[in-house]
């Protein structure tokens, strides 16, 4: 294995790990659907960057942050409005991105690849991964209390709006890290599927996050192996492995189906 | 118009207070509290003082501003006027409803741990609260969505008690409970008050419980209509003014 490839593997597994954790919070907040679509908003940024010849991930980071701010603002609005706006904005941005992105790059932008990172990319992504881990560790209890009851959280002095913003940014940056491998269409899937698997297996907080992270890392490892072996796109392979785990978790669920 | 506390304390209060709490320090002073939301006046000129160790019941018809008053006292919504707590007073809050997702992968024990860590309390604090409230390992290990109403309410009270607050604010703590469970929750609150000398501020819809446990009552219908010991201020006329014609219905409503 070349050093470059090792770098790519480290980044992919790191991204998968935080994807599983962040996805856990997204599932608990019931924002899986919006979360899944967030990755689409990266595409116009990617396309614009490819056209203007600067690092596509910078472009993606920019539009993803805009998307995170949009979701953060919308969470204070009524649910129905928010869902409609999320649907419109994200499919519109997918369409816009599809128009902007050069034909030759479109498949990779949509479905991801295992292209080795430059040294600079590696350092930046590793630092971002580390920052997200620290942020999660720092705010996890606040996130949990806030999603249990924002009123109780406020009563013990937690700032709901700040916590929501912190989570939105962490979420967007996690999507960015996953995006590199899975592409704008499928990045969200890795964040949505592993916690759904974990939820079938446990009703306790820490096992939930642990299982989610393991399923996520396992899906990327398994998917990468399969993609290399059959020479297919990485993103679809990873998402198929994760979906397989989801089906298994339904067949062999430990938690009884709730009565309501 | 606005009632104020005099120096009147009912016989009830004298009996219930532990001796060391007998100095009647004012723990909360509210003056001219007014809340206007979207041009609608929710609270207007509410004024009262509360002594440490009191058990204040806030009563009033639906939409009379009880919950809003509680949230102002907690400082989690904007208001005009003065809400002044004695310095260093910590508050524990039990909201009326927690719309916690029943599917959350989260146990009561984990929830309490989270509060301990956020507030930097030692975990010994947790044990003493669990004993105080009577939270069994069974309840602690249950996911939040699988508890009965009474267990859930107990857990919320334990959550509020973490950090040793001097004041507990509860918003209709027994709304969704059957009568037996309701009485148990009130007894738990009463026991806590006696044991810890806490001040209680309870929004209540149940006049029976108000008569039994409260030593101060605030009648609220946008304005404070009466304030004082229940036996003195809850006259038939006062209830008539507060609830309108149908107060008899209201009084016998609970347990239905």
Q: What pLDDT shows up at residue A77?
A: 66
Q: What pLDDT shows up at residue B248?
A: 54
A147 interaction partners in chain B (CB closer than 8 Å): 101, 104
Order of strands, sheet of B216-221, starting from the edge strand that comes earlier in the sequence: B91-94, B167-171, B199-203, B55-59, B216-221, B223-228
| Assembly ipTM | 0.87
Q: Quick one: closest CA in A to B143, which residue? A: A203
Average pLDDT over residues A240-248: 96
Against a cut of 0.80, is the pTM above it?
Answer: yes
Cβ of residue B248 closer than 8 Å to a chain A Cβ: no
Cβ of residue B11 closer than 8 Å to a chain A Cβ: no
Alpha-carbon torsion (B125, B127, B133, B137), positive or negative: positive
pLDDT digits (tens, 9 = 90+) for A232-243: 888 899 999 999
Give dist(CA A87, CA A111) in Å, integer. Answer: 20
Give dist(CA A109, CA A43) in Å, integer. Answer: 7
Which of A152, A166, A253 best tests the B interface by mutation, with the highest count of B CBs <10 A?
A152
Order of strands, sheet of B26-37, starting from the edge strand that comes earlier in the sequence: B40-51, B26-37, B80-85
Tell me the pLDDT band of A4, cut-offs 50, 70 and 90.
Answer: confident
Helices (H), chain A: 3-28, 32-38, 42-52, 56-74, 79-100, 103-111, 119-148, 150-155, 160-201, 205-230, 234-251
3-state secondary structure A24-49: HHHHHCCCHHHHHHHHHHHHHHHHHH
Give dist(CA A230, CA A248) in Å, integer. Answer: 23
A30 interaction partners in chain B (CB closer than 8 Å): 101
Of the candidates B97, B67, B249, B103, the residue with the CA atom closest to the CA atom of residue B177: B97
Tokens standing for residue A8: 């790519």
Helices (H), B4-143: 11-16, 66-74, 108-119, 123-133, 137-140
- Name residue B37's beta-bridge partners: B40
User: For residue A72, is pLDDT > 70?
Assistant: yes
Q: What pLDDT shows up at residue A78?
A: 61
Q: What pLDDT shows up at residue B181?
A: 85
User: For residue A35, is pLDDT > 80?
Assistant: no
Domain map (residue ranges) of chain A: 3-251
DSSP letter at A257 equals: P
User: For residue A175, is pLDDT > 70?
Assistant: yes
Which of B104, B123, B157 best tests the A interface by mutation, with the highest count of A CBs <10 A?
B104
Q: Phi and psi (nearest 5°) for A101?
A: -70, 130
A205 interaction partners in chain B (CB closer than 8 Å): 105-107, 110
Question: With pLDDT > 90 as the criterion, what percentage of chain A qualifies?
Answer: 52
Give dist(CA A217, CA A195) in Å, integer. Answer: 12
User: For residue A126, is pLDDT > 50?
Assistant: yes
- Domains present along chain B, CATH in parentheses: 1-89+166-256 (3.40.50.300), 101-164 (no CATH)
Q: Are B182 and B207 in contact (CB under 8 A)?
A: no
A213 interaction partners in chain B (CB closer than 8 Å): none
Q: What pLDDT shows up at residue B23?
A: 53
Nearest to A149 among B71, B98, B163 (CB): B98
Q: Is B204 helix (H, G, I), strand (E, B) or coil?
A: coil
Average predicted confidence (pLDDT) for chain A: 88
Q: What pLDDT shows up at residue B21?
A: 45
A145 interaction partners in chain B (CB closer than 8 Å): 111, 114-115, 118
pLDDT tens by residue, chain B, 256 residues: 434 433 333 333 333 444 444 456 899 999 999 999 989 999 999 999 999 999 999 998 888 899 999 999 999 999 999 999 998 899 999 998 787 777 899 999 999 999 999 999 988 889 989 988 989 999 999 999 888 888 898 999 999 999 889 999 999 888 778 888 888 888 888 888 888 889 999 998 888 888 888 999 999 988 888 899 988 888 888 888 888 765 554 444 444 3
Give dist(CA A176, CA A233) in Å, integer. Answer: 18
Q: Is B103 helix (H, G, I), strand (E, B) or coil?
A: coil
| B248 membership: H or E segment, kind and range | helix B247-251
Q: What pLDDT shows up at residue B223?
A: 87
Q: Are B224 and B49 in contact (CB under 8 A)?
A: no
Q: What pLDDT shows up at residue B256?
A: 35
Cβ <8 Å between A141 and B104: no
Q: Are B25 and B52 in contact (CB under 8 A)?
A: yes
Nearest to B106 among A152, A155, A205 (CB): A205
A152 interaction partners in chain B (CB closer than 8 Å): 93, 95, 98, 156, 159
pLDDT digits (tens, 9 = 90+) for A138-165: 999 999 999 999 889 999 999 988 998 9
Cβ <8 Å between A198 and B91: no
Thinking of the domain A3-251, which architecture would CATH place it in?
Orthogonal Bundle (1.10)
Cβ <8 Å between A149 and B110: no
Q: Are B198 and B157 in contact (CB under 8 A)?
A: no
Cβ of residue B19 closer than 8 Å to a chain A Cβ: no
């Amino acid at each position: 294995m070349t050093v470059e490839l090792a770098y790519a593997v480290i980044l992919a597994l790191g991204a998968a790990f935080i994807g599983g954790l962040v996805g856990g919070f997204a599932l608990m907040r019931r924002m899986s659907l919006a979360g899944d679509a967030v990755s689409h908003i990266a595409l116009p940024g990617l396309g614009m960057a490819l056209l203007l010849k600067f690092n596509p991930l910078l472009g993606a980071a920019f539009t993803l942050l805009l998307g995170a701010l949009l979701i953060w603002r919308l969470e204070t609005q009524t649910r129905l409005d928010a869902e409609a706006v999320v649907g419109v904005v994200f499919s519109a941005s997918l369409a816009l991105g599809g128009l902007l992105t050069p034909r030759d790059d479109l498949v990779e932008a949509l479905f991801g690849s295992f292209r080795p990172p430059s040294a600079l990319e590696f350092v930046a992504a590793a630092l971002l991964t580390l920052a997200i881990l620290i942020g999660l560790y720092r705010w996890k209890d606040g996130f949990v209390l806030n999603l249990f009851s924002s009123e109780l959280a406020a009563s013990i002095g937690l700032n709901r709006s700040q916590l929501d913003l912190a989570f939105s940014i962490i979420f967007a940056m996690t999507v960015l890290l996953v995006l590199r491998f899975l592409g704008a269409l499928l990045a969200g899937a890795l964040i949505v599927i592993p916690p759904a698997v974990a939820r079938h297996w446990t009703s306790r907080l820490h096992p939930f996050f642990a299982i989610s992270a393991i399923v996520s890392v396992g899906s990327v490892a398994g998917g990468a192996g399969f993609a290399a072996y059959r020479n297919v796109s990485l993103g679809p392979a990873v998402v198929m492995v994760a979906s397989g785990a989801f089906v298994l978790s339904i067949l062999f669920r430990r938690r009884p189906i709730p009565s309501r | 118009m606005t009632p104020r506390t005099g120096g009147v304390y009912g016989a009830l209060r004298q009996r219930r207070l532990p001796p060391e709490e007998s100095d009647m320090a004012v723990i909360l002073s509210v003056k001219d509290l007014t809340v206007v939301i979207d041009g609608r006046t929710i609270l207007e000129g509410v004024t009262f003082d509360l002594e440490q160790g009191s058990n204040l019941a806030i009563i009033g018809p639906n939409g009379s501003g009880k919950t809003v008053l509680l949230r102002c006292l907690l400082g989690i919504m904007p208001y005009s006027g003065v809400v002044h707590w004695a310095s260093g007073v910590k508050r524990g809050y039990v909201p009326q409803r927690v719309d916690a997702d029943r599917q959350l992968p989260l146990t009561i024990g984990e929830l309490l741990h989270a509060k301990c860590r956020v507030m930097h309390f030692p975990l010994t604090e947790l044990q003493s609260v669990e004993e105080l409230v009577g939270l069994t390992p069974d309840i602690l290990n249950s996911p939040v969505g699988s508890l009965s109403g009474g267990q859930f309410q107990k857990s919320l009270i334990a959550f509020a008690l973490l950090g040793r607050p001097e004041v507990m604010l509860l918003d209709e703590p027994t709304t969704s409970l059957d009568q037996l469970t309701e009485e148990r929750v009130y007894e738990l609150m009463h026991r806590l008050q006696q044991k810890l000398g806490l001040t209680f501020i309870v929004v209540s819809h149940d006049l029976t419980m108000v008569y039994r446990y409260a030593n101060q009552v605030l009648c609220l219908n946008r304005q404070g209509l009466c304030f004082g010991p229940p036996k003195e201020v809850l006259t038939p006329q006062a209830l008539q003014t507060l609830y309108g014609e149908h107060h008899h219905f209201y009084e016998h409503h609970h347990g239905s």
